[in-house]
Amino acid sequence: MSIYDFQVMTINGAEVSLKEYQNHVLLIVNVASRCGFTSQYAGLEALYQKYKNRKFSVLGFPCNQFGSQEPDTESEIKAFCHLNYRVTFPMFSKILVNGTKAHPLYRFLKSEEKGLFGTEAIKWNFTKFLVDRSGKVIKRYAPQTDPIDFSLEIEELL
């Protein structure tokens, strides 16, 4: 199994297969508009702009499980991201990342790359998963890790 086996819903309501991202290096992130780490949207967009022509993408998944920091609708989230951070990387519908109703993609990501002390649970918004061109989860980054801090790791995979 790889990430290419999953279907996701775009922020515009269209169902897509992650097979569309085969042979891409991906950074998959659970995001929120009212989080202390929300400013990381700028770094995520900078990475996307820097590497998108080399088959790299950031995939943003809004999540409201942590302190109700993403209570808005998809259209409001999309507008917020565009107006405040000029986000152009792919964004998806709100999902759950923990618990019995966690999205299957996130259940897979967490099982492939554990967090601190071997835990699977996502601790907060802006947890990041780096995925190689074959769909293998390479690394998991803590929410406080600035996206720019691992651009060398992205370059190695490109």
Cα separation of 55 and 13, whole Å?
24
Q: Are strands 128-131 and 137-141 parallel, antiparallel or unpaired?
A: antiparallel
Q: Which of 27, 29, 35, 81 is catalytic?
A: 35
Task: Decide: 97 and 106 in contact? Cβ < 8 Å.
Answer: yes
Active site (annotated) includes residue 63? no
Task: Decide: 97 and 122 in contact? Cβ < 8 Å.
Answer: yes
Helix (H) or strand (E) holding 47: helix 40-51
Tell me the β-bridge partners of 35: none
Residue (of 152, 136, 129, 134) closest to 31 by Cα position:
129
Catalytic residues: 35
